[in-house]
Every structure is written in C-alpha cells, then in structure tokens.
Amino acid sequence: MAGKPEPLTSLDRSGLQPGRIAIFLDFDGTLAEIAEHPDAVSVPTATRDVLARLADCMSGAIAIVTGRPICEIDRFLQPLCLPVAGIHGLERRDADGAHRAAAVDASLIDMLAEKLKRFQESHKGIVVERKSASVALHYRQRPELAEAGMAWAHEAVDGHEGLQILQGKMVIEIKAGKETKADAVAAFMAEEPFAGRMAVFAGDDVTDEDAFNEIARRGGISIKIGGGETVAAFRIEGVGAFRQWLSRLADDFENRQLTE
C-alpha cells in the first residue's frame, strides 16, 4: 500500500556502511534524465565516476536493475562495467560477469513488434523499441495516446500466453515471462558480493514498485525519485538531486576508509 515517504535528506548516511549494504539502481529517471527518445539519454562522466568509486568502496556490491538491455547500459556507462539486470529481470549479468537469460520465442517478439509498428505508422511521434525479450512503445512525444496505446498493446497480446504488459512513464512494454525487478534483486542478494548485506534500491517508475516491496520485505531502504504514489520509504525530488546524494555517499565511504 502506498504511504508517505520521508525525504531522503532525513536518512542518516552515517548508518550506511560500505561493507554492509548493497545498492541497486534503476537507470532512466534515476541515473539518467528521461528523454523523448531512448537513445537520447546520457549519464555525466562525474556520475559514472561516482558509481565506480562506490563499487570500489563496496567490493562491487552495486548493480543496475532496468528495463533496458544490458548492452545498452554498458554503452551508456562505458568504460564502467557493473552487474546488471536487464529487461525487467529477463537477463542478468552477475558480479563475476556470468550472463543468464530467460528462454524467449524470438518469433513471438517479432510478431509483437510488427503489431506495435502498425500503431507507430499511424501515429506520428510514437517510438517502437524492439528488445531481445520485449517490445516497448514510447509515447513521450504523444502523451495523449496513452489510452489508445494500451488498448493496442492488449489487442496485440490477445490469444498469446506468457506475456506481460507493463506501463511505465510514457512507455508501454510487452515482455515475455513473469520476471520482475523484485526477482532480479532477490537473485543478486543470493550471490556474492551482495549476500548478507542490507539492500538499498532507488527507482522512479511504477515498474520499480515490485522492487520496493521486495526491499521492504528484506528490511532494506527504498528510494523513490520524483513524484507519484509509491510504497518506497524515502523520496528525493529528481535525478540531479539523487546524483548529488550518491556523490556525497561516495565521499562518506572514502573518508571512512581513510580514517580506519
């Protein structure tokens, strides 16, 4: 049930120990500002440096959990290479670099892409993104088409089992399987270097709410970026403010290491 998150500024960072927490981060709307086109986003060099510093202080217990494919996260964060769960948990790369991916019927994804492209062809400003295990319909340039796009997505999946429709910020995604970001967090938490640590998850979208619930179940810390109803325990106003918070956290960790 949605509650009233506390401001993230009220969280005492001194209680966060680099050897005792695991950090999981959404990408779009959390590390990168949301753009009209999926390829138009970027992550500042300073933020990539902060992530690298955190990974070093935390023995690698930091991962990206996103709807994007792993290869795209690598491209935006290069040369940094972190553990990543992509396509809402359908693919995952662990801290040792091993890849795991759910089996997906590529012909079914192709069929869905063709159906959504027909909607794109008749509505200027719509972007259809075909991923390995899902298809996303982005309507950021045409927000008035949210209802029509959702109706089209439901028609596209009609008669096909094992598909899930997710609605995020200005995007509708049809994915194979039932995996969620919560499943991805649970999988990471069963492995080193994440196992035995307190989980921290930050995200901005409705697709992050499953992960927030998983974090609450584990007694961890959940952070909502921006507005909207949420079950997260804490909230911060936007991407820029959250990047600054991560930077201060990295400073804290490094200063403690110098004094130990």
- In DSSP notation, 181-245 reads HHHHHHHHHTSTTTTTSEEEEEE-SGGGHHHHHHHHHTT-EEEEESSS----SEEES-HHHHHHH
Q: How far apart are CA 249 and CA 243, in angstroms?
A: 10
Q: How far apart are CA 247 and CA 254, in angstroms?
A: 11
Tokens of 219: 């007694």
Q: Long-range contacts for 8-13 (Cβ within 8 Å, ≥24 apart)?
A: 8/223, 8/234, 8/235, 8/236, 8/242, 8/245, 9/236, 10/234, 11/221, 11/234, 13/248, 13/249, 13/252
Q: Which residues are catalytic?
A: 26
Q: How many CB atoms lie within 10 A of CB 79?
A: 7
Cα–Cα–Cα angle for 54, 80, 183, nearest 5°? 70
